[in-house]
């Protein structure tokens, strides 16, 4: 973490207060590096509340009620508060883990789908450098406003623009870290450049080009992480296979799948919807995302860069 930042504050002697009840593994790694990451865990939730208390409000800049959710029913949840709509708010604890586990100390993070403010603010508070771009000027303005309040002396770099054009201009990266649009699951705008507006085959072509540009900026012997989830074709109700398509997109650029974790999410508004979903279509309520870690080059060398701060 940055010199002046302590997630749980400082004690009377000015030393950082550590979260209690973690055990030896959590002392070393914050949370166990297992293939199931459970956001409902009490330790995780306590840490998430501490991050939120820093002032992060990732939903600002995103008009949640204007976002159309496509889960096969094409339904708008205007009757729910913003925090309970389908608007995806990135988990700051997941961001903390991925940055600390897979980026060298003080390394450069590049995020081609910057979206809300979470990844940028958490990254710089942890001592990393962050560059992200997003098509929405409203979102970028909201991100910058939050950054100026929370970390004014070390602002993340947020660029307003099309990822297809801007990602190739990003700094050389030590870690690619992003959460892309899940096709048309959340339609963010009517901008024709917005890939969430596109038919899946067009979306996928643009998505692969953005991954190409991002991985070209990634140094050798480094990791990349995309947090993704499968979503349904709104006509057939069948899953698209987005997770597999993401793996293929990275492999086409020479990166191999190195780790995969299941991120177990909170129930949220799902109990309100599940009766209709299951009775009318036998569709399970989806409570997880896939955390995909890719490696460019040698995983052992990438690990040494993280553990020892080595330059490869």
DSSP at 192 = T
> Is residue 80 a part of any domain in this protein?
yes
Task: Determine, yes or no, domain membership for 235.
Answer: yes
C-alpha radius of gyration, the chain, whole number: 19
Structure letter (DSSP) for residue 110: E
Q: What is the pLDDT of residue 163?
A: 94
| Buried residues in 36-46 as b, exposed as e (16+ CB within 10 A) | ebbbeeebbee
Within a domain: 48? no
Within 8 A by CB and 6+ apart from 216, the residues are 168, 253
Q: Look up the domain containing 259 and give its range.
A: 56-307
- pLDDT tens digits, residue range 244-276? 999 999 999 999 999 999 999 988 778 888 888
Backbone angles phi, psi at 146, to 5 degrees: -65, -40
Q: Residue 34 domain-assigned?
A: no
What average pLDDT does the chain have? 86
The C-alpha torsion from 23 through 178 and 225 to 71, rounded to 10°, is: 90
Instruction: Write the pLDDT tens digit of every residue in 8-59.
Output: 777 776 777 888 876 788 888 999 999 999 999 999 999 999 999 998 887 7
Q: Find where tokens 């990451």 sit.
A: 37
Domain count, the chain: 1
Beta strands 218-228 and 68-69 are unpaired
Q: What is the CATH number of the domain that holds 94?
A: 3.40.50.150
pLDDT at 203 over 50: yes
| pLDDT tens by residue, 231-252 | 988 889 999 999 999 999 999 9
What is the C-alpha separation between 95 and 49, in angstroms, rounded? 14
- CA distances from residue 162 to 168, 179, 207, 210, 295 in whole angstroms, order as listed: 11, 15, 12, 10, 25
Residues 6+ apart with CB under 8 A from 42: none
């Amino acid at each position: 973490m940055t010199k002046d930042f302590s997630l749980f504050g400082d004690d009377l002697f000015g030393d950082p207060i550590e979260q209690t009840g973690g055990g030896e593994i959590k002392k070393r790694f914050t949370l166990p590096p297992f293939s199931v990451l459970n956001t409902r865990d009490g330790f995780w939730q306590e840490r998430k509340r501490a991050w939120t208390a820093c002032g992060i409000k990732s939903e600002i800049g995103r008009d949640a009620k204007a976002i159309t959710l496509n889960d096969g029913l094409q339904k708008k949840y205007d009757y729910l508060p913003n925090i309970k709509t389908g608007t995806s708010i990135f988990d700051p604890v997941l961001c903390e883990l991925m940055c600390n586990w897979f980026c060298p100390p003080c390394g450069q993070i590049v995020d081609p789908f910057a979206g809300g403010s979470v990844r940028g603010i958490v990254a710089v508070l942890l001592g990393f450098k962050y560059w992200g771009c997003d098509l929405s000027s409203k979102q970028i303005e909201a991100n910058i406003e939050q950054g100026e309040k929370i970390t004014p002396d070390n602002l993340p770099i947020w660029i307003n623009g099309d990822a297809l054009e801007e990602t190739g201009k990003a700094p050389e990266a030590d870690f690619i870290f992003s959460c892309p649009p899940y096709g048309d699951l959340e339609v963010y705008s009517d901008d024709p450049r917005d890939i969430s507006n596109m038919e899946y085959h067009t979306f996928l072509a643009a998505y692969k080009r953005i991954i190409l540009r991002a991985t070209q900026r990634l140094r050798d012997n480094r990791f990349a992480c995309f947090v993704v989830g499968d979503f349904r074709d709104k006509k057939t109700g069948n899953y698209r296979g987005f997770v597999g398509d993401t793996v293929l997109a990275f492999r086409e650029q020479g990166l191999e799948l190195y780790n995969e974790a299941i991120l177990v999410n909170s129930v949220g508004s799902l109990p309100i919807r599940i009766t209709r979903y299951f009775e009318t279509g036998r569709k399970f309520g989806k409570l997880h995302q896939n955390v995909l870690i890719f490696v460019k080059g040698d995983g052992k060398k990438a690990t040494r860069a993280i553990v020892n701060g080595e330059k490869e």
